[in-house]
Structure 1
Amino acid sequence: MAGGGGGGESGEPEFQIAPMVDVLLVLLIFFMCITSAEVLKVDKNIKLPVSPNATKRDPEMAKHEIAINVRWDPGTNKSLVLVDDREYPNIADLIPYLQERRKTDERLRAVVRGDAKLPAIEIQKVMNLVGEGGIADISFAASNK
């Protein structure tokens, strides 16, 4: 007798779980690939300044942001600039990289993530650098806690 779905003599079809797991794994991999491309690369060692008026970032602009992490080293009294997991001991070397990123994205915004103990002159240096890189839209990261 021709029957579909297996399942013994009662005639009720069995639920096939293997195809469902395959589909779920494909969806999981797809979403992991999409979200990892939009994550802003931040330095976890930076303690952001606190601002009670800090607002959440615009999700639409999140795709067009580049994080410029500026960490203060109290031992050497020097700042350390990190962009996309790369350290820039000479911050002038960052200008060509910013110019290239600006060519690929006209709406590029620089998000300066400065340490709370960072002197203001170091932030000013980074702002000048971002301007030389051709980026006019600059934001500053702060915590509201």
Structure 2
Amino acid sequence: MFKSNLKRTPNIQILPMIDVIFFLLVFFMLFTTFKVSPTGLEINLPTARTVTEQEEDLQVNITIDSNGEVYLDDEKVEMRYLEFEISKYINDSPDALFIIKGDNDVKYESIVKVMDIVRDMGGYRLALAADKESLN
């Protein structure tokens, strides 16, 4: 019956927009700070002139990073569980090749400890990984 002569101004809800923007900001901040190398783990291998490529059917990579953390095929494993995990590989394939990739900054003691665990579990084929030294 009665019509209002006042026009309603459009009302923009800003709070949901702020929530979405904040979520996007946090998402990009988190996922752009993760440093991932194409091979998985970021380690600096020592260099050697006599490096040869190992071509095997079953290679098990054991990586020790600069902090002494151990990774078995790119999965983090605590040192106390390493024996169990390695024994599973040896039960499946007794002649598996275990390649130990130790960072330049890793303690020699850690590499020897991992080698000792592999040998205790019955692994007799070990290799130490290194990058090929460039001839300059």
Note the 1:64-143 alignment, pairs <5 A. 64-73=58-67, 79-89=68-78, 91-143=79-131
Deviation at 1:43, TM superposition (A): 4.2
Q: Distance in 1 between matches of 2:100 and 2:41?
A: 14
Deviation at 1:97, TM superposition (A): 1.4
Normalised by the length of structure 1, the TM-score is 0.61
Gap runs ≥5 in structure 2: 1-38
Q: 1:141 to 1:43 in 2, by over 3 A?
A: farther
1:95-139: CA deviation from partner (whole Å, max 9, x where unpaired): 111111111112111100000111211111111111122211110
Question: Percent of aligned pairs with the same residue?
Answer: 20
Gap runs ≥5 in structure 1: 1-41, 74-78
Question: Cα RMSD between the aligned structures?
Answer: 1.4
Query: Which residue number corresponds to residue 31 of structure 1?
Result: none
Equivalenced residue count is 95
Q: Determine if the alignment matches structure 1 residue 48 to structure 2 residue 45.
A: yes
| Aligned structure 1 segments of 4 or more residues deviating by more than 6 angstroms | none
Q: In structure 2, the residue corresponding to 1:102 is in which secondary structure? A: helix
Conserved 8 A contact 2:95-2:124: no
Normalised by the length of structure 2, the TM-score is 0.64
Q: Distance in 1 between matches of 2:91 and 2:84?
A: 11
Conserved 8 A contact 2:41-2:74: no
Deviation at 1:84, TM superposition (A): 2.4
